[in-house]
Amino acid sequence: MDGGKESIIMSPRNIRIIGAAEMFDTVSRDITKVEDVNPRIISLYEKQFVSGQFIGAIGPLKGKHLLDVGIGWGTTSRAFLESGAIVTGLDVSSESLNLARRYLSCYSDRLTIVHGDITEYPYPSHVYDIACSIRTMCYIKNKQLAIGAMVSMLCSGGVIALCLKPKASVPDVYETDSRAFQIEGWPCRIEELVSILRTLNCKILMKKRIINKVPVIKPMGACIGFWLIAKKRT
C-alpha cells in the first residue's frame, strides 16, 4: 500500500486518543509469554531500575506488603518478589495481567493480582508498607485521585514511590499495522506530583533524575526519567 502507515500518522482524523486499558491490551495481546520479549528490556526493568535503583533507595523488602500500581507484565514486581515482598499488583489491562500471572506463577503464594483502575479501585485503608507505581503515572489522567488512593492504602510511615518516564521515551503516536493512536494521560510533571504528595501530608525523601545510559527501546520506550519517593507522615 502506497505510504499506508504514513498517511495514518499524517491524518489527524485517523488518530484516536485512547485509554491505558485499550493501549496495553493491544500491545500485550500479541505476546505469548514475557520470556519471549527482548531480554534486554526485561533485564533493564528487573535488574537495573528495580533491583539496582528502587530497592537500593528504599531498603530491604523482605516481608513488606507492597502495592504495585500498573503491574503490567510483572517484570518489575518480579524483582520485588525475588526480594521477599508480599505483592498486590493492580492493572487496568486484562491482557497484561494474563502475562503477569504466567510470568509470576512461581510466586503465587505471595502475590495477589487485581484487575482495576487505581482511580476507581475500592481500596482498603492502611494496609501497605510500600505503594509504588513504575512508569505508569503518565498514563493516568487524574493524578490527584491516583496518588490519593495510593497514600490512603499506606500504613502510617509507609513509603510511596513513583517512577516516571521521560516524555521523550514515549512516541507521540503509536502505530500498529492498521491503526494509529495517542495515549491519554500526559503531561506528567514532577512538580505537580510533588505538590500533590505534600498536600497529602507526605514528606519527600528523594527526587532524583535518572540519567539513562541505555537507548530508548521502541516502540514501548524503556527509559525512566525520575524517581520520586515520599513517606506518609505518622
Ligand X SMILES: C[S@@+](CC[C@H](N)C(=O)[O-])C[C@H]1O[C@@H](n2cnc3c(N)ncnc32)[C@H](O)[C@@H]1O
Size of the site for ligand X (CB under 6 A): 22
One-letter amino acid at 54 equals: F
Q: Looking at beta carbons only, is 8 or 223 nearer to ligand X? A: 223
Minimum CB distance to ligand X, residue 174 (Å) = 12
Report the DSSP pairing between strands 180-183 and 202-209.
unpaired
Query: 35 phi and psi, to 5 degrees?
Result: -60, -20
**Site string (14-43) toward ligand X, x via CB under 6 A:** ------x---x-------------------
The binder of ligand X chosen from 45, 54, 123, 174 (CB under 6 A): 45
State yes or no: residue 169 binds ligand X (CB under 6 A): no
State yes or no: residue 118 binds ligand X (CB under 6 A): yes
Q: Are 105 and 34 in contact (CB under 8 A)?
A: no
State yes or no: residue 123 binds ligand X (CB under 6 A): no
Contacts of 11 (CB under 8 A, 6+ apart): none
| Burial (0-12, 13-18, 19+ Cβ within 10 Å), 103 | buried
Here the cell at position 177 is 499495522
State yes or no: residue 70 binds ligand X (CB under 6 A): yes
State yes or no: residue 140 binds ligand X (CB under 6 A): yes
Q: Looking at beta carbons only, is 6 or 120 nearer to ligand X? A: 120
Minimum CB distance to ligand X, residue 217 (Å) = 12
Stretch that binds ligand X, among 6-14, 30-38, 59-67, 84-92 (CB under 6 A): 84-92
One-letter amino acid at 12 equals: P
Q: Are 124 and 151 in contact (CB under 8 A)?
A: no
Contacts of 72 (CB under 8 A, 6+ apart): 24, 91, 93, 96, 100, 136
The binder of ligand X chosen from 51, 98, 136, 169 (CB under 6 A): 136
- Which chain residues interact with ligand X by CB under 6 A? 20, 24, 45, 69-72, 75-76, 90-93, 96, 117-119, 134-136, 139-140
